[in-house]
Structure formats: C-alpha cells, structure tokens
Amino acid sequence: MLSIGGVMNRAIFVELDGIIRFNVLNKISMIKSIGEIGIYTDRVNTLRELKELGFKILGIAYQPNLDQDFSAEVALATNEKTAFLFDEIVWCNHSFNETCFCKKPDPSLIESLISKYELDLNESVFIGMGNKDLVYALNARIKNFFFRDNFFVRNEL
C-alpha cells in the first residue's frame, strides 16, 4: 500500500520465537527444522484482526543456528503456517560473537522496515519479551510495547 497525501502506515512488529512460534519438541529451543515450527494460533488470529484494520504485520527472528538460505525457508514456512499473516519476516542469523548490524539491540533491521513501509512510529507497536526487547524497540524509537505474557495489555512506559 502506498501512502497518499502524506498519510503514513502503521505496523505491529512481532518477535517470532516465543510469541508467534514455538518448537514443537519442547516449546523452548530455537527452530532448527521446518517440522519443529509450532504456531500460537490464538495470537495469530488477534494479529489478523489488526492486519484487517490496516496494520502491517512484520516478524523479527534471531536464528543463529540457520544459514541464510535455510533461514529464508523457515521464514516462508512460518508465514505459510500462519496463513500469510506477515507482510514480511526479517532475521539475523549471525552467531552471538559475530559483529553485525541486524542483531538486537541494534535497531538497523527495524529501521529498514520503518523506511520501506513509511511507518508512523507513534501508531506502531512492538510485541516482544521483556527488557531486552524493550531496549531494542526503544532504540528504534518505538514507544508502544507489549509483553509476551500480557499480550493484550499495553505496557505503561
């Protein structure tokens, strides 16, 4: 969707692992194969209602155990399993010790999406897990933040 007359878009940024996606083997481990992808469908349904209200739904993942090609496959499989909820899924697959611009809490990955989708940050929300994701969202200048365990409750900053 193009913005018209200066009207900007709004988005929900979602940390995938632990919020939308879980490992069917044990709920906790990172995804290592397509067959391990489980989906929290109630949350997908909630986000779909927001998508129908005009929010872009943008997924973010950290998957250092997957190479670039397989990361793309896992992203596509995740989107298929959510009946294509996501407008886009982005990821960092660099190892913990590697230096890169796409790893939390560097906001570069989010900033590229803000620019691409011409997002109004005052109307956009980050759904993440706890303090680390909160810092990540604030680095990207997103003030609206939800915690995983209070998926529907706005965090007061």
- Chain contacts with Zn ion (rule: CB under 5 A): 92, 94, 100, 102-103
For Zn ion, the closer of residues 81 and 94 by Cβ is 94
Quote the least distance from Cβ 94 to Zn ion, whole Å: 4
Spatial distance between the Cα atoms of 77 and 126, rounded to a whole number of angstroms:
22
Q: How many residues does the chain have?
A: 157
Quote the least distance from Cβ 110 to Zn ion, whole Å: 13
Contact status, residue 74 vs residue 37, Cβ threshold 8 Å: yes
**N-terminal to C-terminal alpha carbon distance within the chain:** 31
For Zn ion, the closer of residues 61 and 121 by Cβ is 61
For Zn ion, the closer of residues 8 and 30 by Cβ is 30
Picking from 127, 29, 95, 16, the residue whose alpha carbon sits closest to that of residue 136 is 127
Quote the least distance from Cβ 61 to Zn ion, whole Å: 11
